[in-house]
Amino acid sequence: MYNDKLRDFIKSAFEKKLIEAVMAPAPTKDSYTYALITRKEDVDKLTPIAPVMQWNGADMLRRITRLKKSGRKLLAILRPCETRTFKELVKFNQINPDNITILSYDCPGTVHAREFKNEKISEEELIEKMKKNEISEKVRDSCNVCEYPTPIKGVGDIGFGIIGVEEPVFFSLSDNGKEFLKNMGIEEGERDDTKWIEIHRNNREKWLKEERIKGGTKGIEDFLSSCLNCHNCKDACPICFCKECFFEDHSVFDYESDKYFRWADEKSGIRLPTDKTLFHLGRLIHMGTSCIGCGLCQQACPMDIPLYRLFGIVGNDLQKLFDYKPGVNDDIPPVMDFREEELQDFEGLPEEGD
Amino acid sequence: MNEEKEKEFEPVIVGFFCNWCTSAAADMAGTARLHYPPSIRPIRVMCSSTVDPVYLIRALQEGADATILGGCHPGDCHYINGNYKARRRVAIVKTVLKSLGFDDERILLEWISGSEGPKFARVMNEYTELIKKKGPSDFKYIDSLGGD
């Protein structure tokens, strides 16, 4: 029903010539993919609200607009987390937002792509639960503790409200969205999403307290002990957009064999391949301040390491330090900015008696 | 050899020193014959902001017991604002370490200008004392079989 509603919306936008292309999820045999379509006839192939998030949609937009702005008027249908990613990537100059209109919706959460492959679930089922303000036990960990499960004013253009209303409503999130809805001839509606946000935030509070990885070297080594060093988490991460990575081409950390033998002497044996844990710590340092919380690192992990516990919780600490919320407003990302008077606690020798 | 090591722990501290200030201060401390411990292994960099925090934890992982990043005092950066960026980066790496239960005092950010030879010697002495008190770092056992 909700997907039909959105498909009708897209078709009518095509008819009114407000858009020339759409990017939204489309079903495949065992999962969902993102699809870019340019004709009204293809709209029925789309499932705007999908129960699976195989990739981050903002990452897909980055891929098609990183060289040049979108050449056609594009409507992208993104989840709230993807919309925040979009905003964050625009700040990093990775996406050219010109000509792109974003529609986001009240998100019921998504199922782990591998679990979905084994046991199919329809988006209607997740949405029905959401309408009763219940989070399905099948959704991914990161969806369960999502901080912003609904569209935010100022992030994206158009909101599609599902919670607390019989008939879904459209509302604007930006001036562009307001204009768009006006041209579509759609009356803006209202709905109340506070309860849905509240249950997620409560889950999140509890999760931040209980799931932290502690214990220094032993803690992190135990947590990552089954890691294959495949770097899938990095590839799935929308914030890890660098073309060259410290840890990908090992020329930065390439040594002659003598060094490895010496380290083996000193550390009572080294693990091979080397730098497996250092990779995760390095990644945390580079992207933690902008971690959106999409949880795709965890979904991409072939060994089912609950990586979102690492990136989400440490990321939360970093974001608290800079009083920064990635993707929810126009603040500059901490790694691109500085103040002259700040962070004095991090300078100099620790005080005596500490 | 091992017994000797146990008797007195001599830490290894890697210092990344800005070319325009802390490195000059190190030279000054040397020419003034101020004493500072041999535990410091200085590396001259063009600016404190050129040191990616990954290099700091890399040094700790390769066997250093502590690292120092030495830069110009706020407002005095040769490249206008590099030291402010370095401060943010150090804040990030220290927060990550602390958050995971590591000792974040094993990374030190210190502003030492080119004329502060005595301060350079004092900081190196005090920091070495502190690290001696703390004992060997267990961060070096990341990606190894050693440690507890």
Would you state the pLDDT for residue B20?
A: 96
A262 touches A269 (CB < 8 A): no
Would you state the pLDDT for residue A144?
A: 95
Q: Considering A209, A237, A256, which residue would you say is the last residue of a domain? A: A209
Q: Considering A175, A209, A243, which residue would you say is the last residue of a domain? A: A209
Domain that holds residue A315: 212-339
Please give the order of strands across the beta sheet that includes A100-105: A32-37, A21-27, A74-77, A100-105, A158-161, A169-172
**Residue keyed to tokens 């209109």:** A101
The rounded Cα A86 to chain-centroid distance in angstroms is 9
Q: How far apart are CA A322 and CA A329, in angstroms?
A: 14
Residue ranges covered by each domain of chain B: 14-135
Same domain for A21 and A75?
yes
B114 touches B28 (CB < 8 A): yes
| Cβ of residue A240 closer than 8 Å to a chain B Cβ | no
Residue-wise pLDDT tens digits, A193-243 = 999 999 999 999 999 999 999 999 999 999 999 999 999 999 999 999 998
Which candidate from B100, B111, B146 shows the least CB-CB separation from A216? B100
In a domain, A167, yes or no: yes
**Which numeric CATH code is attached to B14-135?**
3.40.50
Q: How far apart are CA A107 and CA A250, in angstroms?
A: 40
Same domain for A202 and A246?
no
| Cβ of residue A282 closer than 8 Å to a chain B Cβ | yes
Burial letters for A251-285: b for 16+ Cβ neighbours within 10 Å, e otherwise?
Answer: eebeeeeeeeeebeeebeebbeebbbbbbbbbbbb
Q: Considering A173, A190, A209, which residue would you say is the last residue of a domain? A: A209
Longest dimension (CA), chain B: 49
Q: CA nearest B109 in A: which residue?
A: A347
Same domain for A275 and A334?
yes
Mean pLDDT of B58-77: 94
Is the pLDDT at B19 greater than 70? The verdict is yes
Is the pLDDT at B4 greater than 60? The verdict is no
Same domain for A160 and A267?
no
Same domain for A149 and A287?
no
Residue-wise pLDDT tens digits, B90-103 = 999 999 999 999 99
Same domain for A284 and A157?
no
What ipTM, to 2 d.p.? 0.92
Q: How far apart are CA A233 and CA A248, in angstroms?
A: 13
Which candidate from A215, A271, A343 shows the least CB-CB separation from B87? A343
Identify the bridge partners of residue A201 per DSSP, sorted by sequence position. none
Confidence at B1, pLDDT banded by 50, 70, 90: very low
In a domain, A170, yes or no: yes
| Cβ of residue A209 closer than 8 Å to a chain B Cβ | no
| Interchain CB distance below 8 Å, A347 and B111 | yes
Which candidate from A277, A318, A321 shows the least CB-CB separation from B142? A277
Confidence at A164, pLDDT banded by 50, 70, 90: confident
- Residues of chain B in contact with residue A346, where contact means CB-CB under 8 angstroms, are 87, 90-91, 94, 109
Number of domains observed in the structure of chain A? 2
Interface test with A, best of B120, B133, B144 (most A CBs within 10 A): B144
The beta strand positions in chain B, using DSSP E, are 13-18, 40-45, 66-71, 107-111
Same domain for A73 and A119?
yes
